[in-house]
Chain A
Amino acid sequence: MLKQLLTVVCAFGLLTACASKEQGADLYGNGKGGWNNDVNIMELDATGITKKFNKETTPVVYFAFNSSSLDASAKAALKEQIAWLKANPTALIVIEGRCDERGTREYNLALGERRANVARSYMVANGIAADRIKTISYGKEKPVVSGSNEEAWAKNRNATTVAY
């Protein structure tokens, strides 16, 4: 999914010159790059592989507050994911690390990265090739569940595997 998404973003990026120049578009948007022309970028739906993975495994593992330890249910979920990856050897994955909103931004970026990598290390230790796995941290910036309560926070402390 990520790869396809990036392809789409890049394609639009070419139309509008260079993606890194989008900064400052409002202020200095009168140049030749066509910055005033809005490009409507839509996220693609999950690909077949992503959907299949999400249907056939438990794609999300959860963590306790301020923790990156895998408990029994997290390990069980990762074992399902590992078995699936072994059965689908061409699939690649991105593991997204997330935190609840009860920490500071910078620390949570680090904690999200650590959570994603705990899941990654567990997979590598159980026979998945390291080069099939990418990680990204969203810290507390992209919660998957709305709300400012314990229930939402528990769901937002996670490592989510996206297959593509």
Chain B
Amino acid sequence: MYKILLMIALFLCPTWAQAELRIDVSGAQSEPLPIAIPYFSNQTLNADLSTKITDVITADLERSGLFRLVNRDAYIQNLTGVDTRPIFTDWQAIKAAALVQGDIRQMPNGNITVSFRLWDIFNQTQMVAKSLTTTEDSWRRIAHIIADNIYERITGETGYFDSSIVFISESGNQKNRVKRLTIMDQDGENLRYLSNGKSMVLTPRFSPNMKQITYFSYQNGKPQVYLMDIQSGTSELIGHFPGMTFAPRFSPDGKKLIMSMARNGNSDIYTYDLKTKKQTQITKHLAIDTSPSFSPDGKRIVFNSDRGGTSQLYTMNADGSSVQRISFGKGTYSTPVWSPRGDYIAFTNIRDGQFNIGIMHPDGSAERMIATGWLVEAPTWAPNGRVLMFFRQTPSDNWGDKGTSQLYSIDITGHNEQLIPTPQDASDPTWSPLLH
């Protein structure tokens, strides 16, 4: 897991304590930062709200692998509100490096306001102080935004807790899987089904503004790419392509889709302009060219192609020029996805009968496998480009049962693999941008 430079040392060597509380997420695994998060004081009519909000903040931070909650039974000072001054020696005594205090108030219109402060216990300084207001039923978002604020202030990285996942829920026998478009918060809560499972759907991807999902479906009998408006639930067929369209993704500006079209046994990459409805052919090769993904600046595209004999990763300019192979390791490479930070490309690698999730720089250097399994596939980036989600399958028995498919997240360091709980089997996750 991410390396935590400072704080443990801070306890042991008080003379270092002028350095600000900070976690360095770029290095190797280290001990998580001890953080105290007493239950926020609650002045609303909803007695559960404090437990619910404080627990979500705590769970987000702990799941990141960077933080460890200091046991609440050990707390000495009883903080009665967000404006109670911490007695720092009380928190130092229980070895908390950071403290979060907060309160929840009800507004006259029924909305709730959550105020919180993040303290550096050893420097006795305030690191963040904010108040957030929303409708009571949006309390989860407030909790995730607070967790993002804490994560951001201490790591210097963008957070990723206030975000959603769109994925495929799977159920039933291997030969007759029911697959449904599903959306949920990144922690598995707030799950909603967007399709009823009567037609097979695959590979859903969010638009950058989170209003739409592009996906692949056999609805209407023909395998094609569709665009769904999340709010209304209506979907439309994309383009007038003479063959199967598949593997869709949005361009970073949200104006275009990029996808493959297969015709007469040949798959090439196309873009589709959502406004002008113009389709443009980007690759023209007898090989299978698919799984395209734009760089965050929209200038380059990474994709996989078997033009060299086996499936490998290539980059090219947005117009299809300047094609460069970037994967040269053992086995085959596919499903490349460009990090939102631009610094890495995540992919699926198949070698020696095992599947791996790996990352490499866009020039192909610094390749590293970070997760492995009988079948792991389809990496997707957290909004901060420091965590990946993917799905892992286990083999089916000879009756097509018992096989499982589940979502996992992992840091790009290869540490802190976490199962994302879903009510049914799950596959093809796509992580949304940060919502706030």
Contacts and interface: CB of A to CB of B under 8 A. Distances in A.
Interface stretch (A44-52, A72-80, A109-117): A109-117
B407 to A, nearest CB: 15
B264 interface: yes
Interface stretch (B54-62, B393-401, B414-422): B393-401
B262 interface: yes
Contacts of B177: 141
Interface string B335-350: 1000000000000101
Contacts of B228: 23-24
Contacts of A107: 288, 290-291, 304, 311, 334-335
Contact of B196 (A25, A105, A116, A143): A25
B262 A110 contact: yes
Nearest to A3: B221
Interface in A108-150: 109-111, 113-114, 116-118, 120-121, 136-137, 141-149
Interface residues of A, number: 45
Among A27, A117, A143, the one with the most B-chain Cβ atoms within 10 Å of its Cβ is A27
A9 B262 contact: no
Interface string B148-178: 0000000000000000000000000111110
15 contacts: A19-B220, A21-B233, A22-B196, A22-B198, A22-B219, A103-B334, A105-B202, A105-B203, A106-B203, A106-B291, A109-B247, A113-B265, A114-B265, A146-B401, A147-B398
Given A23-B226, A24-B233, A104-B377, 11 more contacts: A24-B228, A25-B195, A26-B195, A102-B350, A104-B378, A105-B203, A110-B288, A113-B243, A142-B200, A145-B175, A146-B399
Interface of B: 173-177, 179, 181, 192-196, 198-200, 202-203, 216, 219-223, 226, 228, 232-237, 243-244, 246-247, 260, 262, 264-267, 288, 290-291, 304, 310-311, 332, 334-335, 348, 350, 375, 377-378, 393, 395-401, 403, 428
